[in-house]
Structure 1
Amino acid sequence: MVATPIGNLADISLRTLHLLEIADRVACEDTRHTQALLRAYGLERAGDRLLALHQHNEAQAAQQVVAWLNAGERVAYASDAGTPAVSDPGARLAAAVREAGLRVVPMPGASSVTTLLSAAGCAGEGAFVFAGFLPSKAGERDAAVAALAQEPRPVVLLEAPHRIEALASSLAVLGDRLVTVGRELTKQFEEIATVPCARLGDWLAANPQRTRGEFALALHGAPAAPKTGEGERVLALLLPELPVKTAVKLAAEISGEPRNALYDAALRMKKET
């Protein structure tokens, strides 16, 4: 499973270039795109050594890859850009190869997800949610945004240029919550900006070029709800009668406060008694 550059052709590893050179065959999302990529590195292949494997034929083409592997051939799979099987074809291929008792070897490399997070400054604690592409229908997209309204972890979204304005409209209901938008990451006209969700549409409209290219967005985590003290009050009543985990679970359900924080409070209370 070969990760390929998401823009800048220099973002490829020496290990990946070696693998592409020695592979007997290359399966890929788009043979024309991958042939151009290989040509850029001096690794152009004969047409019969390339296999199109995309969302419309992945199950069938995966069986051809399995047959080649069983015959002792080395097969590389590359999506058009970034890491395969993450909002791109490849997951069913990897599953089919694994189920056949064969080895799936990941070749790490470019990813718009981690590229954006490294510049967004919102995932310092390490936890984030990858939501990928939200639904294209307005009602379903608005419902998905509403479900993320209280998410305390950063949420990474992907979007195509023809839908970015619609996504900005849906995100506007989140008001002052910050979103970092990455446009054309690693490419010549890369832009990264952090704005309130309510202003994302204005940011796009400020320059006609901003609705072009591929987008990754990092929705910053929702601010933690202020502590009410209700959770610890309930804990104090429950702990003398119940095990710690049970008391914490009930206190969280009653107060709506985070379970992890209440668990820490419960341990502190136990030490103090």
Structure 2
Amino acid sequence: DYFSGEPQAQLSCLNRAAEFVLRTQKVERRFMGLVKRMKAAYDVCCGSEALSQTERDHIHYYLAVRSIVFKLTKGDAPDVTQMNARVREMIAEALKADGVEEIYFLGDKKAESIDIFDEDYLARINKIKLPATKIQLLQKLLEKAISDFKKVNQLQGINFTRRFQAIIDRYNERREDDVLNGEEFDTFSQEMTDIIYDIKTEMGTWADLGIDIEEKAFFDILAHMRDKYQFTYDDEKMLSLAKEMKSVVDNTSKYPDWSKRDDIKAKLKVELILLLHKHKFPPVANDDVYMGVLAQAENFKEHHMSALN
């Protein structure tokens, strides 16, 4: 189909080829490695008259498929600049076909305008007909969603990362000859979509508590430490403590280079530990509790300041 000259058939062929490569991680790695070696050899002899046009066309075909797989899995597409204009256009069109147009921009500046929690947006993703391709796209969406959420709430971000990684591990542990049927692909897709919805739900839980999303991150780490070390501490007191903790961390925002100054970081740690001690959290001093809370504070401060700068 690719060599038939019909644009729609060519695009469909490129997408089906990428889908075939993505069916298992082992196939993907083998294909990507072999085409990389082919490209290295082609770079050496591309100026030779011994190469026929048909051979060049086949080389560009494999490079095009490799570029599509790269874009779907890594976020950028190598080799494109060395292809002729028509092949470059076909890669761009193939990546934007079948509802993939917004995903094409993930990793670019335009990604900031994408609302991955939008119902219509997720519906378009779920309508993609190539199952392995859809899995890759959902994987990229989740990586971005979890990465962004972790910048605010490290603890919950880690929890979502573990759930997500467990799905990916099961998906990648399949044998090379273990081809999934449609229902099995749907199961993986649904599990990933469920995590996206759960992140959206988690991002809204702060409102019910009467605090903001950043204070909720401190509340979560306090609750986690309370449950982990099994001591009693009232939720209302933790809400008040979470608000004060965020206020303490925010006060260091007047020092733009705080992350590079050991004196400011030491001052922040002391102030937080004194605040925890003042509120008798935990009731009996515990260094692990302090370290866990400080880790969330530093994570929040680092990303909060990056967003402001």
Indicate whether the TM-score tops 0.5.
no
TM-score range, shorter chain: 0.3 to 0.5
Which of the pair has more CA radius of gyration? Answer: 2
TM-score, length basis structure 1: 0.35
TM-score, length basis structure 2: 0.32
Structure with more strand by fraction: 1
